[in-house]
Amino acid sequence: MTVLNQTTDSRTAAAPAPAPRRRKPLATRAYKVFRVVALIAVVLFLVAPLFWMLLASFKTNVDIYDTGKSFFFTPTGENYANVLQRNNYFVFIFNSFWVAFVSTALSLVLGVPAAYAMSRFTMHRSALVVLMARVIPGVSLLVPWYYVFSNLKMVGGFEVLILSHMFVALPLIVYIMMSYFDSMPLELEESAQVDGLTPIGAFRRITLPLSVAGIATAGILSFIFSWNNFMFALVLSGSKTKTLPVAIFDFVSYASIDWGGLMAAATVVTIPIMIIALFTQKYIVSGLTAGATKG
Amino acid sequence: MSVLNNSRGDTARDTTRDAARGASRTPGPRKNFSAWANRHRKWLFAAPAMIFVGVLIVFPLAWTIYLSLTDSQGSVRAASEFVGLENYLTVLSDVERFWPAVGRTLTFTGVALVCEVVLGMGIALLLWRPFRGEKWVRVAILLPLVATPVAVGMMWRLIFDPNIGFVNQLLGMIGIPPQPWLSGQDTALGTTIFMDIWQWTPMVVLILLAGLTSLSEEPDEAARMDGANAFQRFFFITLPLMMPTVIVAILLRGIDALKTFDILYATKGKGGGSFHEVETLNVYAYGLSFDYNQYGLSSAVLILFFMIIIITMWLLTMRKKAVSK
């Protein structure tokens, strides 16, 4: 638990009690001003490009080419109407969602028990096999996959895409859940077993319900990674299973770039994931930093 | 049962044996299965995931090694001949595409990593102590991190567009002539590195921040009492204590940076642009496989690429062990 909650909770908890008030030296005040300025700069640097994308998605292409109308223009929803209706983005949104959802769910089913076993029995070498998947370049897997799956007439179906995305999700889930189980005290399970539960029963009735936060973390991150995945879908998706990143990529293959439409499409892809991120901020942070502070 | 002195694994095994004994007292097929499942839960739990990953990795990896030794091209199904190490010789003596790609991969990864770690440490230090509005800064940090890389690539294409891009517009205001950015032969790689820094510095910030908050306050406090100034405290106290976390951040980011594909392919397309300006090993291997169907050659490139990744990781892990001591 310590590792997972650190970033959010212990920060405030660990902060020292307010020191007895003294007159702050000049250097401290100067630092405070510097800190505020620096933080504003950081936020601007990170958010401004996204804001620019959002602005452009509401401009006509004429306005995009007019540098005088960078910030002041008459907003139009036409780009979105184009993207969503004419280019069938609802289908791509559904595809992306479905692939991310199913691959995450299946990966959780496979990954959570595996992470549990690997954590409790300290199976470091087995864990390494699963984590290898995070290191290996995806292209080296794609050629054989493509060959096998096209022979099985599966390329262009959802199954292949889901399998390939599970390959991204599973190592992530195992990694996050292992560090979660590592930091979970053994005593609860042990006392449950003393009270008559079998080890599997203890896992199912005690450990699993207590790891909901960890499972949520792993699930959300795996969903995001699957939603954002580009390379696997580029090769393995067909016209019916195309996911959003591939759809955006195809947008620019046409002769001239429809910037407004492209920015609307890019916004459509990023907005859902950002909304998820806003509401699950705590989990995402703990997942991304899982295991990072272990010795 | 001497539970106290046992390691984790042993404790678990002992209780399993008890459960099995309990089950054998009341026999029955269901009980027997449950006892069996409990006894073998270690592999019962781990095996499905390991088999899944194993089948999807081991088989393709073996196949890639095999392909790298053949002259396979056009279609994987087409007959191919065993050519031994010829592909490797071809690749290793290829100074037009392969070695520049190695150089770009290492440049991209090295420059991006250095900038991300330095910036990330700076930002993490800014965020270290609580302040008002912290919540909003944290949201801002999270946004680039979760944004879809392909969409991010498209976004930067517009912002860095030489004619209508906002960056050149800004530079124009302070009198700097427009730059070609992504479309320039010399500037393209740097521009993509900038994009990587924008998107992934937040990741480094989060990891380093988690490290900073887990540090104990005492060494820092003690140094303060002894009159050390902020810079001394950072370089002689905080940084050495943070080294293991810094290396974890470099390791995690490094693996992904070496394999960067999405933003490169999204901004420059096939072959990393018409002059291969941003063609890294991953983009090169992808192009060989799926744009030119040179499976034998691409497999050799991939095996060499994989070796570069493994060696880098191994070096970093060694370094981490040395620092953690």
Q: What are phi and psi of B318, to 5 degrees?
A: -60, -45
Indicate the pTM of the whole model.
0.85
pLDDT digits (tens, 9 = 90+) for B45-87: 888 888 888 888 888 888 889 888 988 887 767 777 888 888 8
Indicate whether A20 pLDDT > 80: no
- B211 to chain A nearest CA, in Å? 5
Contact call for A278 and B139, based on CB within 8 A: yes
> CA–CA distance from B49 to each of A124, A133, A168 (Å)?
14, 12, 12
Contact call for A42 and B305, based on CB within 8 A: no
Indicate whether A17 pLDDT > 60: no
What residues of chain A, 204 to 233, have a C-beta less than 8 Å from chain B? 224, 227-228, 230-231
Chains A, B: CB contacts within 8 A come to: 314
Indicate whether A53 pLDDT > 90: yes
pLDDT digits (tens, 9 = 90+) for B258-269: 999 999 999 988
- A224 to chain B nearest CA, in Å? 7
- Across the interface, of B139, B148, B211, the residue whose CB is closest to A270 is B148
In percent, how much of chain B has pLDDT > 70? Answer: 90
How far is the first Cα of chain B from the last one, in angstroms, to the nearest whole number?
A: 35
Q: Which residue of A has its CA nearest to B141?
A: A46
- Minimum mean pLDDT range among B39-48, B132-141, B204-213: B39-48
- The per-residue pLDDT of chain B, averaged, comes to 85
Contact call for B56 and A133, based on CB within 8 A: yes
Contact call for A121 and B52, based on CB within 8 A: no
Indicate whether B23 pLDDT > 50: no
- A193 to chain B nearest CA, in Å? 7
- A73 to chain B nearest CA, in Å? 15
pLDDT of residue A294: 59
Contact call for A293 and B210, based on CB within 8 A: yes
pLDDT of residue B325: 67
pLDDT digits (tens, 9 = 90+) for A222-240: 999 999 999 999 999 888 8
pLDDT band at A9 (very low <50, low <70, confident <90, very high): very low
pLDDT of residue A96: 94
pLDDT of residue A188: 83
Structure tokens at B286: 């992808």
pLDDT digits (tens, 9 = 90+) for A235-262: 998 888 999 999 998 888 655 788 889 9
| Average pLDDT of the residues in B102-107 | 94
Indicate whether B240 pLDDT > 50: yes
Flag whether residue A85 sits within 8 Å of chain B, measured between CB atoms.
Answer: no
pLDDT of residue B316: 86
d(CA B189, CA B272): 9
Interface ipTM: 0.84
- Minimum mean pLDDT range among A290-294, B127-131, B157-161, B271-275: A290-294
pLDDT of residue B75: 75
Question: Which of A9, A42, A152 to probe by mutation at the B interface, max B CB count within 10 Å?
Answer: A42
Indicate whether B21 pLDDT > 50: no
Contacts of B146 in chain A (CB under 8 A): 224, 228, 273-274, 276-277, 284
> CA–CA distance from B48 to each of A106, A217, A218, A270, B137 (Å)?
11, 22, 18, 33, 41
Indicate whether B10 pLDDT > 50: no
pLDDT band at A103 (very low <50, low <70, confident <90, very high): very high
pLDDT of residue B26: 52
Contacts of A56 in chain B (CB under 8 A): 158
Q: Of A180, A165, A293, which Cα lies nearest the Cα of A224?
A: A165
Selected residue with higher pLDDT from B194 and A126: B194
